[in-house]
Structure 1
Amino acid sequence: MGSLTTTRRWVLAKRPAGIPDDTTFALKEQPLPALEEGQVKVRVTHFSLDPGMRPALSQDTYVGATPIGSLITSAGLGVVEESADEKLKVGDLVTGGFGWQSALVAKSRHCVKQNPALFQGRVTPTAAIGILGIPGMTSWFGLKNIATLKEGETVLISSASGPVGATAGQLARLMGAGRVVGIAGSKSKCDWLTGEAGFDACINYRETDNLAVAMRDATGGGADIYFDNVGGEMLDAAITALKPGGRIAVSGQLSEYNNPEPRGIRNTLPFITQRLTMRGFVVLDYVREFAEAGTQMVQWINDGKLLYLEEVIDGIENAPTAYAGLFTGENFGRRLIHVG
């Protein structure tokens, strides 16, 4: 393969009012700059499609608002093609916040070198930006540090077939939960969760007339922890299905991201009567503990105790359509783009 001289990159063309579509983004090609000391040139092989970056397309967030014309942010996996830093060599596998693009020149300190020995057995290289990356770490620290899971407790998880939810449910069992209940949007997803993934029960919210009642029934009278990836009406229902002293870990708000007037929560009285606690978090606060968590997760994956699903879609040009599908329940597992 010849030296990389250009990159293809998706940028924000206009701010979306609802679910982003093809007019939201524009695919541009531009030259790559020459390397400077301390930099590397990376050929991106895969990048992630993350629902959590949706708010920044429309408004200011804790990471700021994405400017019009700027690169769409995401985690990326790539190979070093040229290096001007002795810490990284040509051929090294690296991860970083590479965004929706085919190549980049970056400071070497913004790239994390991956150990090839890690990707043996059941662990694929793309796991580095999936179950061993932000989604998996969100599950781990959401349960341990935010929800403070205790042995024997009942855990209820929304968007349970997604990369965060599916991992959280399996980790909950491995960490000693007594009962794990998922919420998903199809029979096939529920069947996978209660089958291969080992959940005790799954609620298909599309076929449930009263979600709050279904939650209480499936949890056997109430949950100790609600791992929230959805927000909105589902969160409101879950608040009524928590036991006294219940905890809510707010990981994501999938149902609110494309709503110009977010619904928010309305069932606030149980916070008093049931002594509930709700806490949001940014998993990067725990970045120094990622390696230890990752080591344990790799062991569980290779032992067959922790499963993960990936949907790898070929072609950088397919990123906008694949991204929009995250908000309609189309995906099943971690959705990635293989740049090609």
Structure 2
Amino acid sequence: MSPFTSSKIRLTSRPEGKPTPEDFSIDQVAHGELEPGQVRVSNEFISVDPYMRGRMNAGRSYVKPYGLGETITGGAVGRVVQSAADDLPEGTAVLHQHGWTDAVQDDASTFQAVPELDGLPLSLYLGLLGMPGLTAYVGLTRVAELRPGDSLFVSGAAGAVGTAVGQIARQLGAARLIGSAGSAEKVSLLKDKYGFDVALNYRDAPIREQLVRALEHEGVDVFYDNVGGDHLEAALEVMNDFGRLALCGAISSYNATERPAGPDNMGNMVTRRLRMQGFIVAEVASEHPEVTEEFRERMTGWLSAGDVTAEETVVEGLEHTVDAFVDMMRGGNTGKMVVRVG
């Protein structure tokens, strides 16, 4: 259990607008001998996620900002390569939040052992079996309270959370799926692979106009929002009476340097008796302690039966993590964006 060196990606300056590689550094960190209760983990995949952009700012958010000079923490999966902890022997697959690094040494309590599923990669614990999948599930079941027969509109439907939302909604009995995406290829994917009834390219024309035209005077019961801005405005235009809006993210404004304009049709909240709720997945899971295990059991069953498909965009190499993050923020991913470390 000799000392070793790891590579870590740190935040060196707070981005103004879109992040650039100059806002980060890759540094070598030396680690000493393992202490009792510690393990060393070699990462296989690390996650890049939209919420990380908010943590790069100094202002108030629902989670503490990254400090300058700190490693970018977040989801990662790997394997224990050396252990001084009885409950995590060598070879154990683990999920953790140590983030953008090729290897990590820390107390065993900061790692969670995860079962390896036949034929499925560990990266799924960063996607459908991880935070994006759980976010989709709690947003649909505990926030929007999706019911069989509902019509659902998902903004950013080809992303990590969006692809999970559409598939889970279908398993829960949604009657009609409408989704938006940012390219013709993604629109085709939503319709041909994921069974969306309507898929719209928001770059073709204003999404509000496209949505009204596509629905032909029919409304939607549930809106699951990953984008915000013009997509929220579009949804308010087509919601049925007593519709529910679950606000998960607003990626359209994460790199904004000026305050974005608000929807001009908020009056529909009153006239149609709508319910809108923003949510943080960790808080909902804390309020509903049963939901995490419920989600894992159902999602594992759906994956094993082939009822749900994992969509991933895999970038090779720790040194390309920042590129992957920047590309993900401008919609360059389909499904979950992960970085394969090795």
By the TM > 0.5 criterion, same fold? yes
Find 1:227's aligned residue among 219, 224, 229: 224
1:154 and 2:151 equivalent?
yes
Q: By how many angstroms is 1:85 displaced?
A: 1.5
1:152-172 deviations in Å (ceiling 9; x for gaps): 010000110001001101111
- Where 1:58 maps in the other structure, the secondary structure is coil
Residue 274 of structure 1 aligns with which residue?
272
Judging changes above 3 Å, is the alpha-carbon distance between structure 1 residues 229 and 262 closer, same or farther for their aligned structure 2 residues? farther
Deviates more, 1:36-45 or 1:167-176: 36-45
Aligned equivalents of 1:290, 1:215: Cα separation in 2: 33
Gaps spanning 5+ residues in structure 2: where?
A: none
Aligned equivalents of 2:274, 2:103: Cα separation in 1: 47
Q: Does the Cα contact within 8 Å between 1:157 and 1:183 map onto a contact in 2?
A: yes
Residue 322 of structure 2 aligns with which residue?
320
1:258 and 2:255 equivalent?
yes
Deviates more, 1:4-13 or 1:34-43: 34-43
Find 1:241's aligned residue among 221, 238, 242: 238
1:252-271 deviations in Å (ceiling 9; x for gaps): 11111111234153332111
AA in 1 matched with 2:13: K
Q: After the TM superposition, which residues 1-340 of structure 1 pair with which residues of structure 2 at under 5 Å, given as runs?
A: 5-59=4-58, 60-116=60-116, 119-121=117-119, 123-208=120-205, 210-220=206-216, 221-263=218-260, 265-266=262-263, 267-285=265-283, 286=285, 288=289, 289-340=291-342
1:94-122 deviations in Å (ceiling 9; x for gaps): 00102100111122122110112xx114x
Deviates more, 1:128-137 or 1:282-291: 282-291
- Where 2:251 maps in the other structure, the secondary structure is coil
Aligned equivalents of 1:262, 1:231: Cα separation in 2: 13
- Where 2:51 maps in the other structure, the secondary structure is helix
Identity within the alignment, % = 33
Q: Does the Cα contact within 8 Å between 2:207 and 2:230 map onto a contact in 1?
A: no
The alignment of Structure 1 onto Structure 2 pairs a total of residues equal to: 335
Q: Does the Cα contact within 8 Å between 1:38 and 1:84 map onto a contact in 2?
A: yes
1:60-102 deviations in Å (ceiling 9; x for gaps): 3221111100011220001111222111101100001021001
Judging changes above 3 Å, is the alpha-carbon distance between structure 1 residues 3 and 227 closer, same or farther for their aligned structure 2 residues? farther
TM value normalised by structure 2: 0.94
Gaps spanning 5+ residues in structure 1: where?
A: none
AA in 2 matched with 1:150: R
Q: By how many angstroms is 1:18 displaced?
A: 1.1
Q: By how many angstroms is 1:219 displaced?
A: 3.9
Aligned equivalents of 2:251, 2:336: Cα separation in 1: 15
Q: By how many angstroms is 1:292 displaced?
A: 2.3
Aligned equivalents of 1:98, 1:47: Cα separation in 2: 9
Q: By how many angstroms is 1:327 displaced?
A: 2.1
AA in 1 matched with 2:315: I
Aligned equivalents of 2:213, 2:175: Cα separation in 1: 15
1:209-251 deviations in Å (ceiling 9; x for gaps): x422322343452111110000112212211121111111111
Judging changes above 3 Å, is the alpha-carbon distance between structure 1 residues 206 and 242 closer, same or farther for their aligned structure 2 residues? same
Aligned equivalents of 1:205, 1:120: Cα separation in 2: 38
Q: Does the Cα contact within 8 Å between 1:179 and 1:219 map onto a contact in 2?
A: no
Judging changes above 3 Å, is the alpha-carbon distance between structure 1 residues 140 and 35 closer, same or farther for their aligned structure 2 residues? same
AA in 2 matched with 1:310: E
TM value normalised by structure 1: 0.94
Aligned equivalents of 2:234, 2:280: Cα separation in 1: 24
AA in 2 matched with 1:15: R
